[in-house]
Chain A
Amino acid sequence: MTIASDTDRRRPRIWGAARWLLGKLVGGIFVLWAVATAIFFGIRMIPGDPAEAIMGGPGSQASAEALAQARADYGLDEPLVIQYLTSLWRLATGDLGTSYSLKSPVSEVLGELVPATLVLAVLALLVAWALALGLAVASTRSGKLGMALGSGLEIVSAAVPHFWLASVLIMFFATALGWLPPVSTNSPAGLVLPVATLALPLAGFLGQVMRDTFDEAHRSSFALSARARGESETGVLLRHSLRHAALPGIALSGWAFGSLLSGAVVVESIFARPGLGRSLLSAVTARDIPLVTGVALLSAGAYVLIMALSDLAERLADPRMVAP
């Protein structure tokens, strides 16, 4: 598919693309630096001694010598500025450090956790899109009552908090009906409830923005022209209305993916599912600075990437925008 065939004939397209990429790259690096800095100083505001955390927490009754040794080993006796610059330098060279609590390299820990969370988030995004589009189409086609019903359903599901929805789903489908496991394994059945918990609120949100655009496109003059040309309702839907409805959805999907990552913290904890979110929670509790930094940087990096992808997708779907 060629995009914007001759909207930008004056300059070679490759330059536009290079500039776009460079902009995203610089922006991304800035975001990662900001996240690293915020984490570094933020986690030091939590009262308590990081050396204690290294030695296994306040309950470990570590000796003063052992604590001093740990401080020296991890460079915690250096001035804060030196510690900050050292940590930035390490991060810049790709060294995420060693987890205090798990005593293994952070990059390894993340490598094990990422796939599980990625599967969860991507599935949730896909399911949310399918639900939102389905509801938009169904409700628009069933008149005023359908519209009101669809809109109401979307508002309710968009407003439901993850932890509540997860509890209700577990109570209903796991405890009462026994259809699905309450604890998530990597089996397909174990994914259903976590994915549903993440997808339903997002579907409500996406549905709200998509249905308005869909409805508008479906009633528009160009849809009437298409019908007057002999196009069927399905044809109008596929060739015109759905494409218009997808645009705001795509624009929001980058943001939505970010919200899924934060939602994963709750969902992975409730369903006892290994993943980035749950590890982040335990790492924060254990004051595991390297692991928290690693998870946060990875999430931020993923967010930057997804935002760039959704920008790209938006430009591909909307020929009025100049392709990068």
Chain B
Amino acid sequence: MTPSPPVLRVKNLSVSFDATEVVSQVSFTIEPGECLALVGESGSGKSVSARSLIGLAGTGSRVHAETLELAGRDVKDLSQRSWRKLRGKQVGFILQDALTSLDPLRKIGKEIDDALRLHTRLSPGARAAKVIDLLTSVGLDDPVRRAGQLSGELSGGMRQRALIASAIALDPALVIADEPTTALDATIAAQVMELLAGLRATGSGMLLISHDLAAVAKVADSIAVMQGGRIVETGPAEQILGNPQHPYTRALLAAVPAGKPRFTPLSPATQPAEPMVSARPTVSAAAEPVLRARSLSRSFQIPGAAGFHAVQNVDFTLFEGETLGMVGESGSGKTTTARMALGLLEPDSGSVELFGEPWSQVPEAQRRTRRPGLGAIYQDPLSSFDPRMSVGALLADALSLGATRNPRQHRERITELLGLVGLETGLISRNPATLSGGQRQRLAIARALAPQPRVLICDEPVSALDVSIQAQVLDLLDDLQQRLGLSYLFITHDLSVVRHMSDEVLVMRGGQVVESGRTESVFTDPQHSYTRLLLAAAPGIAAGH
């Protein structure tokens, strides 16, 4: 019995663009049926490493490797023509967001068919049958109809499955999956991860790329942690998760909010919170409700279809100085509820009270003067900034309630705000587009704080961020809450985030609240079956690492 060669052997891989080396001396081996997770922040070089493994590092890149073997074959100096024969056949590649990774103008059946057309001599009829088989094998219902649909007509999970089908069409020896579940809801992500894990049973090796150690914990056999283009630690998954040696690995693990009590700093960069004496009122009957929703309902008309009930009979109360977490999957009505709470969308029935006074029922002219008391931050801060305004102008605009965009008029308050959210004063003249994701969200928070609100509505504020940056932003929100006595309505699809952040939690599904209560009791003793389903799907790292 001869042992089959590793599906991938990489020794001292380096990739540079112009003079900058973005990947240095990276080495790893993947055996058949093994899953190696490459984990690190955005910009750590993990995606570039993966792309250079299939000869697609990009224009202007220089790739060097001592060894680069695919299923025992040396592919170091392969021509593009030979590479094309290997790509798709020997290596399947799954990119992060299937919405952008499948051509929006083509039917998904066609996209899957491409792999077969390029690498087999099957007749069109046989290929069509194989496409249906593949769609069935990745767990898509009604595969014949799906094959004729455009990627835009499918849900995120279905798209990702279709993309996986196109990558595994020819039973490749190696599957590379670059952040395959980042854009998905927890239950869908868990299903996709399960599907990927199942591929290993057929003997395929897998390279799984992620920024989140928790996301790969269930699937990975071994883990390589990447920082600044280098692998800083590598080993079996249990060892990396249970006994991390490198400080960066420890930081990544600490950044995972799962299992961390309220107000525990997640990021090593966060200073231990100053001892707060007065700010945080202990939960008592005396705590005043600042935002209250009473049986809010809202439906939307869809042309040619019955009305769609986005939100039905939602009640909640947010108390002063507390955080109310609202958790649910895409389409569960979270954002619609948030927009009604902000007074941006009229409820069909029900009402919202702000600071004990009517809010949703009064005309906008009356709301306007009270708006400074209520702020909001969103998932994608960049799209909420006017692209022509500098950081200083954005803050001046918010501070003056739209009267001026001249940063010089509010110099002191701008400096104060930037300090509050941990941004340097030097950024005042910068354009937000040149800031990093974490800096942008800090700026969004600073802008929301400018009119000195007492309540902040946070709609998926950390969903687009790396786990390590997410940790910093969550720490910042915690810190601000303690310092300023803010109340948060915190909306997220991530259970571990909501558990870490909230005093009380609402679990939403299909526009309705299925369960609500004090966070710890909901999480430790869930009553509704849907809550239990969500908890089971949530990625997590076994406690006690």
A interface, size bucket: 20 to 34
A298, B54: Cα distance in complex, Å: 58
Q: CB within 8 Å of B: which of A123-162?
A: 143
Tell whether A103 is near chain B: CB-to-CB under 8 Å. no
Whole-angstrom distance between the Cβ of B139 and the nearest chain A Cβ: 20
With contact pairs A10-B305, A319-B105 given, residues A221 and B56 touching in the complex (Cβ less than 8 Å): no
Whole-angstrom distance between the Cβ of B138 and the nearest chain A Cβ: 15
Interface size on B, residues (CB 8 A): 40
Tell whether B84 is near chain A: CB-to-CB under 8 Å. yes
A10, B306: Cα distance in complex, Å: 12
Tell me which of A224, A231, A244 contacts B114 (CB under 8 A): A231
Tell whether B371 is near chain A: CB-to-CB under 8 Å. no
Among the stretches B22-30, B87-95, B402-410, B439-447, the one at the interface with A is B87-95
Tell whether B103 is near chain A: CB-to-CB under 8 Å. yes
Q: CB within 8 Å of B: which of A307-324?
A: 317-320
Tell whether B304 is near chain A: CB-to-CB under 8 Å. yes
Q: CB within 8 Å of B: which of A225-257?
A: 225-232, 235, 239-240, 243-244
Among the stretches B147-155, B245-253, B462-470, the one at the interface with A is B147-155
A141, B153: Cα distance in complex, Å: 32
Whole-angstrom distance between the Cβ of A320 and the nearest chain B Cβ: 6
A235, B145: Cα distance in complex, Å: 26
With contact pairs A6-B148, A230-B85 given, residues A224 and B118 touching in the complex (Cβ less than 8 Å): no
Tell me which of A8, A228, A240 contacts B56 (CB under 8 A): A228
Chain B residues near A221 (CB, 8 Å)?
Answer: 95-97, 100-101
Max chain A C-beta neighbours (<10 A), residue from B85, B152, B153 = B153
A226, B105: Cα distance in complex, Å: 13
Chain A residues near B85 (CB, 8 Å)?
Answer: 230
Whole-angstrom distance between the Cβ of A57 and the nearest chain B Cβ: 57
Contact with B along A205-223 (1 / 0, CB 8 A): 0000000000000001110
Tell whether B104 is near chain A: CB-to-CB under 8 Å. yes
Chain B residues near A318 (CB, 8 Å)?
Answer: 105
A222, B100: Cα distance in complex, Å: 6
A227, B118: Cα distance in complex, Å: 11
Chain B residues near A231 (CB, 8 Å)?
Answer: 84, 88, 114, 118
Chain A residues near B119 (CB, 8 Å)?
Answer: 230
Interchain CB contact under 8 A, A229 and B114? yes
Chain A residues near B304 (CB, 8 Å)?
Answer: 8, 10-11
Tell me which of A6, A10, A11, A225 contacts B101 (CB under 8 A): A225
Tell whether A7 is near chain B: CB-to-CB under 8 Å. yes
Chain A residues near B150 (CB, 8 Å)?
Answer: 319-320
Tell whether A5 is near chain B: CB-to-CB under 8 Å. yes
Chain B residues near A243 (CB, 8 Å)?
Answer: 105
Tell whether B390 is near chain A: CB-to-CB under 8 Å. no
Chain A residues near B115 (CB, 8 Å)?
Answer: 229-230
Whole-angstrom distance between the Cβ of A19 and the nearest chain B Cβ: 13
Chain B residues near A228 (CB, 8 Å)?
Answer: 54, 56, 87-88, 91-93, 95, 167
With contact pairs A11-B304, A229-B87 given, residues A224 and B95 touching in the complex (Cβ less than 8 Å): yes
Whole-angstrom distance between the Cβ of A21 and the nearest chain B Cβ: 19
Chain B residues near A240 (CB, 8 Å)?
Answer: 103, 105-106
Interchain CB contact under 8 A, B84 and A226? no
A319, B106: Cα distance in complex, Å: 8
A146, B87: Cα distance in complex, Å: 29
Q: CB within 8 Å of A: which of B74-127?
A: 84-89, 91-93, 95-97, 100-107, 111, 114-115, 118-119
With contact pairs A6-B148, A224-B95 given, residues A232 and B101 touching in the complex (Cβ less than 8 Å): no
Whole-angstrom distance between the Cβ of B358 and the nearest chain A Cβ: 40
Closest to A240 in B: B103
Chain A residues near B167 (CB, 8 Å)?
Answer: 228-229
Contact with B along A4-26 (1 / 0, CB 8 A): 01111011000000000000000
Closest to B83 in A: A230
Interchain CB contact under 8 A, B88 and A7? no
Chain A residues near B93 (CB, 8 Å)?
Answer: 225, 228-229
Closest to A243 in B: B105
A11, B305: Cα distance in complex, Å: 11
Interchain CB contact under 8 A, A226 and B305? no
A320, B92: Cα distance in complex, Å: 28
Interchain CB contact under 8 A, B118 and A230? yes
Interchain CB contact under 8 A, B148 and A226? no
Interchain CB contact under 8 A, B102 and A225? yes
A177, B152: Cα distance in complex, Å: 55
A317, B93: Cα distance in complex, Å: 28
Whole-angstrom distance between the Cβ of A218 and the nearest chain B Cβ: 11
Tell whether B166 is near chain A: CB-to-CB under 8 Å. yes
Closest to A246 in B: B105
Interchain CB contact under 8 A, A225 and B105? no
Interchain CB contact under 8 A, B101 and A320? no
Q: CB within 8 Å of A: which of B23-65?
A: 51, 54, 56, 59
Chain B residues near A143 (CB, 8 Å)?
Answer: 59
Closest to B100 in A: A221
A239, B149: Cα distance in complex, Å: 17
Interchain CB contact under 8 A, B104 and A320? yes
Interchain CB contact under 8 A, A224 and B56? yes
Closest to A229 in B: B88
Tell whether B163 is near chain A: CB-to-CB under 8 Å. yes
A7, B148: Cα distance in complex, Å: 11
Q: CB within 8 Å of B: which of A269-324?
A: 317-320
Interchain CB contact under 8 A, B166 and A225? yes
A207, B248: Cα distance in complex, Å: 49
Interchain CB contact under 8 A, B103 and A226? yes
Q: Identify 6 residue pairs between A and B in the complex whose beta-carbon atoms are under 8 Å apart, listed by A's number.
A: A6-B148, A6-B149, A10-B304, A222-B104, A232-B84, A320-B150
The 6 A-B pairs at the shortest CB distance, nearest first, are namely: A228-B93, A230-B88, A229-B88, A221-B100, A230-B87, A221-B101
Additional A-B contact list (13), CB under 8 Å, known A225-B111, A235-B118:
A5-B149, A11-B304, A221-B100, A224-B95, A225-B95, A228-B87, A228-B92, A229-B88, A229-B118, A231-B88, A232-B84, A240-B105, A320-B152
